[in-house]
Amino acid sequence: MEAFVSKHADDVIGTLSGFDRLVFRGTLRILAHRAGMMAYLWAVQVLLKNFAHHAEALTKQPREASEQAARRTGRPIRYLPSGVTNKEQIAREIAEPAPAKAGGGWHNARADLHSHRCEVCHTYELVRDRESKHMNLVPRLRKCPHLYHYDFHPVFGFMHARIQTWFPFSIQIRVNGREWLARSMDAARMKYVRRDNCFTWLKDPKRAQQLMDQHLRAAWPELLNGIARDLSPLHDTMFQAYPMEYYWSAYQTEWATDIMFWDTESLDRLFPGLLRHGLTTFSSPDVMRFLGRNVPPSGNIPPRLMAEVTSDVKRRPEACPCEGGGRADQAPSG
């Protein structure tokens, strides 16, 4: 990147580097393994044979509390029967700006959307051992409804978080780094022009980079715990007999660098070469690595990896109209 910017210094205003997408996982660690779950059941005096009843009683509470809070504040609840529904688009369509209330916190955001659908979750199941004739608690991957909250966070801007409604209530929080930067620049009263997830103009690029650098020093436990409390408002009550907090880990992190040019003409001159470079150097192992497959930096795909890169795109616009790429309906299948 430094070599590219140095080579084209006359055409480049500067760069903007920082988080593009962040996905955090919140886990009740003591409940993430069988020994910890058994210790919890002992502490709350629940017999193993009564585990299913205990888990079912707890499962109802997060959903009911969330729905009651939404109705109390007049926020919409939407039930989505299909997993392919674009939840973010629906959330943005129903979000309406409103004045922030006093006090701070996530509830001061302008709108949110709750949706439920079944997705894979980590949970436990009682299984009878044929040899010992005893009941054992076994970790299982199953499908359960998840509760999504879409909201305008006072720090992160538009974002969403979800919690599985089955015990042990794992959480996932997704943050958009460019949305976060826009929120930071709004707070600093900085002028900018944004298009989708890109800033097409910045009044002060240097100051914008300084704000992005501050994101590296975010108070993550405090911020994420605040979102978790809003997502599961009865958490402390549910675990009063055996207090526990969420442990946060970074599930997915994306770092992006934007290069800003002085004018469109400068980029148009470079774009054909950049396109050819991408087409000739970007390969299937790169796609697999981006999708989370364990591919080493060398690009040598492990023999045991059972995966393939496929596409069902039948029509697409040509990527380089500057070279007379042709009409979209004449593009080859992908």
Residues 224-246: tens digit of each pLDDT: 999 999 888 889 988 998 999 99
pLDDT score of 318 more than 80: no
Band (pLDDT 50/70/90 cuts) for residue 29 is very high
Closest by Cα among 251, 295, 256, 252 to 287: 295
For residues 185-208, average pLDDT = 92
Distance CA 153, CA 212 (A): 17
Burial of 31-63, coded b for 16+ CB within 10 Å and e otherwise, reads beeeeebeebbeeeebeeeebeebbeebbebbb
Q: What is the mean pLDDT of residues 290-312?
A: 65
pLDDT at 149: 84
Q: Which residues contact 67 (CB under 8 A, 6 or more apart)?
A: 77, 114
Q: Where are the domains of the chain?
A: 16-262, 263-334
pTM above 0.95, yes or no: no
Amino acid residing at 84 = V
Whether residue 3 has pLDDT greater than 70 = yes
Write the CA distances from 257 to 11, 46, 260, integer angstroms.
16, 52, 10
Find out whether the peptide bond into 332 is cis, omega within 30 degrees of 0. Answer: no
CA distances from 162 to 68, 131, 236, 247, 263 (A): 17, 40, 18, 15, 41
Spatial distance between the Cα atoms of 62 and 235, rounded to a whole number of angstroms = 8
- 171: β partners: 26, 163
Q: Which residues contact 324 (CB under 8 A, 6 or more apart)?
A: none
Tokens representing residue 320 in the block? 């380089």
Q: Tell me how far apart the alpha carbons of residues 200 and 242 are, in angstroms, rounded to a whole number.
A: 51
Kindly state the tokens that stand for 157. Answer: 């801007």
Give residue 288's pLDDT band: very low, low, confident or very high (50, 70, 90). low
Q: Is 198 exposed, middle or buried (0-12, 13-18, 19+ CB in 10 A)?
A: exposed
**pLDDT (0 to 100) of residue 211:** 96
Return mean pLDDT, the chain: 79
Residue appearing with tokens 């955001």 = 109
List the helix and strand counts (H, then E) for the chain.
10, 8
Instruction: Give 115-169 pLDDT, tens digit per residue.
Output: 555 788 888 888 887 787 788 888 888 888 888 888 888 899 888 898 988 889 9
